[in-house]
Amino acid sequence: MSLLSADAISLSFGGIRAVDRLSFDVQPGEVFSIIGPNGAGKTSIFNLISRLYPLETGRLSFGGRDLGRLEPHEVASAGIARTFQNIRLFDQASVLTNLMLGRYRHNRASVLAQCLFLPAARRQVLADREKVEQTIDFLKIERYRDKRAGDLSYGVRKIVELGRALVSEPSLLLLDEPSSGLSPEETLGMVFWVEDIRDKLGITVMMIEHDMSLVSSVSSRVLAVNQGSRLALGTAAEVQSDPAVIAAYLGQATPGRGPG
């Protein structure tokens, strides 16, 4: 049974169809990449899954549950975590606080317990801290732990946002252009992380990407979209050689360009 399935979903902005009766599904344990020219509607797909925008048509289900009835914050509780194209970190807080916040959906302490900092609240915070430290170890960002998130470099901020998504222990991770703004070395590092996330942490990954080498290295399947509708769906090699996909990328011999 698929983890996430989209059935003829649509979204428009004014007169423009950002997503046009798109259907696909994502299997548990795979890395599912979405590619397409700019403005093709890729981030809108993520925004529909996160329930930041309402579905115009169609149905989205996650683990069998209809996502259409959920509030945006309930999507996280359902087990979906995401990163954003323009990094939505909490700039005034430290990296540690940003990551601790990623644990919010696991919070069981009541408001009263927190106001009085009863043992239940203390236990909660310490348990969250354990998990957060494990992720800090995984991503090797120990030396940024107490630094203010707004002061860090772009590449590190991307990693912190990834960390925030990971600490919530999601079943599905949505990565929006994880390699954009990263150097070729950092992008190589991202390849390893995505593999580790899939293999060691057992998280299913959906990824919007432009960097074809990253896409080819880690994806199980690739969905190519243009103007909100599906161009091709298959393995990376199949999609990259699909004539419709090539045409959409303005006739270049191979879609996009990656290092090497």
The DSSP secondary structure of 43-112, one letter per residue, reads HHHHHHHTTSS--SEEEEEETTEEGGG--HHHHHHHTEEE--TT----TTSBHHHHHHHHTGGG----HH
Reduced to 3 states, what is the DSSP secondary structure of residue 22?
strand
Half-sphere exposure of 239 (CA within 13 A, CB side): 27
The residue length of the chain stands at 260
Q: How far is the CB of 39 from another protein (least distance, A)?
A: 13
Nearer to another protein, 73 or 143 (CB): 73
Q: How far is the CB of 82 from another protein (least distance, A)?
A: 6
Nearer to another protein, 97 or 220 (CB): 97
Compute the distance between CA of residue 244 and CA of residue 235 in angstroms, rounded to an integer. Answer: 15
Q: How far is the CB of 110 from another protein (least distance, A)?
A: 10
Q: How far is the CB of 59 from another protein (least distance, A)?
A: 21
Reduced to 3 states, what is the DSSP secondary structure of residue 18?
strand
Q: How far is the CB of 74 from another protein (least distance, A)?
A: 8
Nearer to another protein, 77 or 254 (CB): 77
Alpha carbon 88 to its chain centroid, in Å, reads 12
Nearer to another protein, 107 or 252 (CB): 107
Nearer to another protein, 59 or 105 (CB): 105
* 6: β partners: 24, 60
The DSSP secondary structure of 97-155, one letter per residue, reads HHHHHHTGGG----HHHHHHT-HHHHHHHHHHHHHHHHHHHHHT-GGGTTSBGGGS-HH
Residues that bind another protein (CB under 8 A): 43, 46-47, 50, 52, 71-77, 81-82, 84-85, 88-93, 97, 100-105, 107, 109, 111, 114-117, 121-122, 124-126, 128-130, 133, 148, 150-151, 164-165, 168
Nearer to another protein, 109 or 201 (CB): 109
Q: How far is the CB of 237 from another protein (least distance, A)?
A: 31
Q: Which residues in 71-84 are b (16+ Cβ under 10 Å) and which e?
A: eeeebbebbbbbbb
Nearer to another protein, 176 or 242 (CB): 176
CA nearest neighbour of 37 among 217, 236, 231, 203: 231
Q: How far is the CB of 75 from another protein (least distance, A)?
A: 8
Compute the distance between CA of residue 176 and CA of residue 88 in angstroms, rounded to an integer. Answer: 12
